[in-house]
Structure 1
């Protein structure tokens, strides 16, 4: 008697809120729900599929609800027990549950199934999110995107009254990005960018815009991101870099100048600006900027080497210009200038050398510059340190 009473309670819960069953529906659906609740999933599957194959019972909302419930419960139990037979009762089992609930909802014109469907959809959204995370960690990005999008589809429905889950949108954006589905990635990232989600979103949206071939949109994203995120260093450097790639050197310097106005103590901005001047062979301006960078970060050895390189290049340029000169006094005067430039190069190199750096990249640059300046004792000394 106790067992029968328990079954009656279960069935009463499952069928509450529904239309009064016709004798035919009651006779065919009640046993199916009992099979589901007692975890006899294979038997339940056979019974449900038989109902779906019938033209009449396939029109019953509860038939599809039963199929969705079966798919979802078997999936959840299978995942908890790591039982493949349960979570692969159907191919794409979570999606079978989703499509079944959707079919049930579309057939339920009187909305009598709403109370049963709503909590099932909530659980399903959680299942899809977990599946998406699992696929993403396995680098199955297209499948991760599919799962995250189904979770979003459910949670954004007005009947749930939920605020947008920006973390879920971010997961979908990352999955689309990694799957190289640039349009979708850009759409999700643009939503997050509008919310001011994070500087990384602006970075990814910039990359997605470039992947779509829209450089103008990419630049605009970076400008907006720089404003939103208080001159985020990464975004500033990206915007400067995109100008550099297009040989828009003045624009790149302008980006850095604007950033320096707001954060004058940022060594990276000054150093990057110096590198741009060096690249365009504007060595005098590069020297001025590198000296400021050294004051801000005296332990950044590469800046000293960049400064020494500028002086070396000035010396070389002066010496080359004297080759066409016929006035000896003018040649001597110019060579004094080149000697002074080379001396300055040595001065800045020696400052690094005396610090006894162990960074191999720094040591190689030192070795190269000393060799070009023909300071062979230090060349030999450095050769013993270079691996």
Structure 2
């Protein structure tokens, strides 16, 4: 009888010690509820300290980690800067705590309450991400969006057996990664968003921009081609394709997409200008003139189109002078005839260069061209005027 009494007393002492230590967890929760966060932090740290012999009872207890999550979440929400500065990444610590609580709760008793807390934690991470993004702290914003996605992918957060997919968060994670210059991650998240159809053709453009930032032209082209196949009516994707082909000197490919772009949007002056530039590059001068004039017809203040047209006629005049200079000295009449042809081209250049100069009065390129043209054609009054303007610009 004596032995059984001793055994009973030992059992009572053991249970009492267990409840005493678990009482620390309850105290920590109480401190949190009364906004005594410093006391709450101190108490909860004691319950998970592996160097504390008493913590062996609370470390494997799911409630310990759930309360720890609540406390660190409260630290993030607190306005007490003295407490907040003691804790780095409180929301991440809260998430890891809730995950630990779920791991230890083999009977899933606390799943309903932790699910609510994880939902609230998602809101806190969203708040943190938005603030970080607005402060240009893109790394923190990215990590916050990644944590939100991690929560949404947890089996506990699934609805009717399917995980919730927040395409906005995926897209924003890509945006944050891009701004943080983590282009591989940006591509990953943008591609996920594209597969889900988020933001249409624009997402493919952003994927391509990420590849270009990595100097991966092939990746950008493949992405834009995929985007064009999916959104054939989107002119912006075509423009990017055209620009890449132009920069890569793939003129035939650029011309193909440019023709498609014009067919889709025949009132876009930029497309005609680009087409004129391509024809110019291919020395298809007559075609270039037609395209540039169409651009001007659609956009009367298109400086580049006026300047390029003036340049075409100017260069034709220069080439004709070379023809004249090749005439033997014994044929002065033929020489004069060839020079007259050159002057015809120079005269054609003048109205386009004058209009270009009107549109950009401080532009020295058009003024220098006009200075030469006026001198060549003996338009001395205009020559003096342009010369004076150039002197004022260069002062």
Distance 1:36 1:44 in 2: 5
Query: What is the aligned length?
Result: 358
How far does residue 180 in structure 1 lie from its aligned partner after superposition?
Answer: 1.4
8 Å CA contact retained: 1:308, 1:348: yes
8 Å CA contact retained: 1:202, 1:225: yes
Residue number in structure 2 paired with 1:225: 227
When normalised by structure 2's length, the TM-score is 0.82
Runs (5+) with no aligned partner, structure 1: 1-21
Residue correspondence of structure 1 range 1-387 to structure 2 within 5 A: 23=19, 27-53=23-49, 54-76=55-77, 78=78, 81=79, 83-158=80-155, 159-161=157-159, 163-194=164-195, 195-229=197-231, 231-326=233-328, 328=331, 331-350=335-354, 357=358, 359-360=360-361, 363-373=363-373, 374=375, 375-382=379-386, 383-384=388-389, 387=393
After superposition, the Cα gap between the structure-2 partners of 1:59 and 1:196, relative to the gap in structure 1 and judged at 3 Å, is closer
Q: Which secondary structure state, in structure 1, belongs to the residue aligned with residue 56 of structure 2?
A: coil
Distance 1:214 1:260 in 2: 28
How far does residue 352 in structure 1 lie from its aligned partner after superposition?
Answer: 5.4
Distance 1:179 1:197 in 2: 21
When normalised by structure 1's length, the TM-score is 0.83
Distance 2:344 2:239 in 1: 34
8 Å CA contact retained: 1:74, 1:89: no
CA RMSD of aligned residues (A): 2.6
Distance 1:196 1:98 in 2: 28
After superposition, the Cα gap between the structure-2 partners of 1:191 and 1:321, relative to the gap in structure 1 and judged at 3 Å, is farther
Distance 1:331 1:27 in 2: 110
How far does residue 311 in structure 1 lie from its aligned partner after superposition?
Answer: 0.9
Runs (5+) with no aligned partner, structure 2: 1-17, 50-54
Q: Which is greater in Rg?
A: 2
8 Å CA contact retained: 2:353, 2:366: yes
After superposition, the Cα gap between the structure-2 partners of 1:282 and 1:105, relative to the gap in structure 1 and judged at 3 Å, is same
8 Å CA contact retained: 1:283, 1:314: no
8 Å CA contact retained: 2:221, 2:241: yes
Distance 2:226 2:381 in 1: 53
Cα deviations across residues 93-121 of structure 1 (Å, max 9, x unaligned)? 11111111111111111111111111111
Cα deviations across residues 250-307 of structure 1 (Å, max 9, x unaligned)? 2222221111112112111001111233344433221111111122222324322211
Q: Which secondary structure state, in structure 2, belongs to the residue aligned with residue 32 of structure 1?
A: helix
Q: Which secondary structure state, in structure 2, belongs to the residue aligned with residue 58 of structure 1?
A: coil
Distance 2:121 2:19 in 1: 31
